[in-house]
Amino acid sequence: MDTREQKVQSDAETGAPLATSSLELLAENNGDYEYLDSGNGRRLERFGPHVLSRPSTVALWAPERPGLWEKADGTFHRSSGGNGRWIFAGKVPRSWEIQAGGFTVEIKPTSFGHVGLFHEHSCHWSWVRSQVGKSCSVLHLFGYTGAMSLLAARHGAEVCHVDSVSDVNEWARRNAVLSGLEDAAIRWITDDAVKFVARELRRKRRYDAIILDPPTYGNGPKGEKWILEKHLAELLAMLLQLMSDKPRFLLLTCHTAGLSAPVMRNMLLPWMAQYSGVLESGAMLLGNANVKSVLPAGFFARWAGKPV
């Protein structure tokens, strides 16, 4: 599914054309991952041999495959504080490995309900592959368990992977080893994203491409507070200064309620209008050929410059 409404705007000062598109991108099942169904406020997915049921506030419809839900190996119940607990049927290991997008990644159910892979991001994998290459430096902020970092590195980029949680960075490193990329050109940084970018600016370091998936709320390693509504605009303004003189792309994804595709597009449009290129925004969706509904799984805005 890839619907587009194409239009062209011009920067008031430079007159450079900026093509913009509205998209719906469907993340297809691949490797050991399969989206199975959703409804009644939940989503059902298969990660390798295990089927997991997790909350989804947007799944307001009725499930289409009720028989599958009874076979869930693990069900996550969220508490009022944001964390929650898993209830497992039978013996489910603490962690296991699956193949996803040509990589081997470790799946591990956590107290937040996350498992180590946001499969909806896979709808951007081919796009990122088409943008990176040798002599491309990529900054990956809020890098989580590293799928995008591994993808960029495998296709020739030099990557700086930043996450504020040391255990998550170790998880990402394990994924690199499992995928045969332990010697890839990746710097693993445990730091607060805003502070790290500020230091990189003082060092006059520049990047050709930036990927970021900011959370709604977060904490840095030294107690720094991240509140998306307060800090995202500031961070994006800093990132503009951090781009090289031949920028390749920027990919912004988010799962925060209220931060829709038009909002994200608006945040990037005045920043990127100074470059010629294409700005796209839209929804990330999960689907299955055996169900009629698709599950909205976040929004994105992404910009790409001219081919190098």
* pLDDT over 60 at 6, yes or no: no
Residue 108 has pLDDT above 90, yes or no: yes
For the domain 33-100, what is the CATH code?
Answer: 2.60.40.1180
Taking a C-beta distance cutoff of 8 angstroms, is the pair 94, 116 a contact?
A: no
Q: Can you say whether residue 49 is alpha, beta or left, with left for phi > 0 and alpha for psi between -120 and 50 degrees?
A: alpha
pLDDT in tens, 18-72: 567 789 999 989 889 999 999 999 999 999 999 999 999 999 999 999 999 999 9
pLDDT greater than 90 at residue 223: no
Q: What angle do CA 35, 110, 183 make, to 5 degrees?
A: 85
- Write the pLDDT tens digit of every residue in 174-222: 999 999 999 999 999 999 999 999 999 999 999 999 999 999 888 888 8
Listed by start position, the domains of the chain span 7-29+118-304, 33-100
DSSP letter at 157 equals -
pLDDT at 31: 83
**H or E stretch at 177:** helix 166-178
**pLDDT per position as a tens digit, 238-269:** 999 999 998 999 999 999 988 999 999 999 98
Query: What does R_g of the chain's alpha carbons equal in angstroms?
Result: 19
Structure tokens at 54: 């997790």
State the fold for domain 7-29+118-304. Answer: Rossmann fold (3.40.50)
Structure tokens, 299: 């929004």
The residues, any chain, with a CB within 8 Å of residue 299's CB and separated by 6 or more, are 253, 254, 259, 260, 261, 264, 281, 282, 283, 284
307 falls in which pLDDT band (50, 70, 90)?
low
What is the pLDDT confidence band of residue 131, given thresholds at 50, 70 and 90? very high
Q: What is the pTM (predicted TM-score) of this model?
A: 0.91
